[in-house]
Chains A and B, each alone.
Chain A
Amino acid sequence: RKEVEQDPGPFNVPEGATVAFNCTYSNSASQSFFWYRQDCRKEPKLLMSVYSSGNEDGRFTAQLNRASQYISLLIRDSKLSDSATYLCVVFGGSTDKLIFGTGTRLQVFP
């Protein structure tokens, strides 16, 4: 079983739509959680951290459910510029390094 699992997509949504991505992780001792964004042929960049109480950054909302070992990212009012691959990332537990999911691809169309 992979340490971090994501639905690869693609998710094709119209502008203005709300879209949600989910991610599960296998190591219950994991300590920190993040979402990264990767544009086509570019490097990954940190989008936001994920806190236990849930957190919001503009149109983006991240949630963590430690009991279910589940992380989510909600994007409201999708823009064309949101088209990218979203990587679920986990840190800690038995290892002190970031473990990346394989990513979920989002395509927003006009």
Chain B
Amino acid sequence: DAGVIQSPRHEVTEMGQEVTLRCKPISGHDYLFWYRQTMMRGLELLIYFNNNVPIDDSGMPEDRFSAKMPNASFSTLKIQPSEPRDSAVYFCASSGTPYGYTFGSGTRLTVV
């Protein structure tokens, strides 16, 4: 099993541009989570899906952020327009249970 796969590993973009982060969960895992990590705030849950359905998006900062899971093997997190304060490491995690998480390697986003 290849684990949770995220792309890209690094993204540098200019303020105002659209950014799309991608995640492929572990096959058979019903839960998918998007987290953001910064030095100041640690790991924050943005949104999670169960069986491709968004369950809790209360952590999504604002309307500039959106997430989709069109099928069991793919999810995207989009930021439009991006701002410098969105700079962080974004992790995707999947699980076959509500709490047995496996994290991807993360996407390090820098907005200049």
A-to-B contact residues, CB < 8 Å:
32, 34, 42-46, 87, 91-92, 95-103
Contacts and interface: CB of A to CB of B under 8 A. Distances in A.
A98 B42 contact: no
A103 B104 CA distance: 19
Given A42-B105, A43-B106, A97-B33, A103 B99 contact: no
- Which 5 residue pairs across A and B have the least CB separation, nearest first? A102-B42, A43-B103, A100-B43, A91-B99, A96-B98
A8 B70 CA distance: 38
Interface residues of B, number: 17
Given A34-B99, A43-B91, A91-B98, A97 B45 contact: yes
A101 B42 CA distance: 7
Contacts of A96: 98
Count chain A CB atoms within 10 A of each CB in B91, B103, B105, B106 and give the residue with the most.
B103
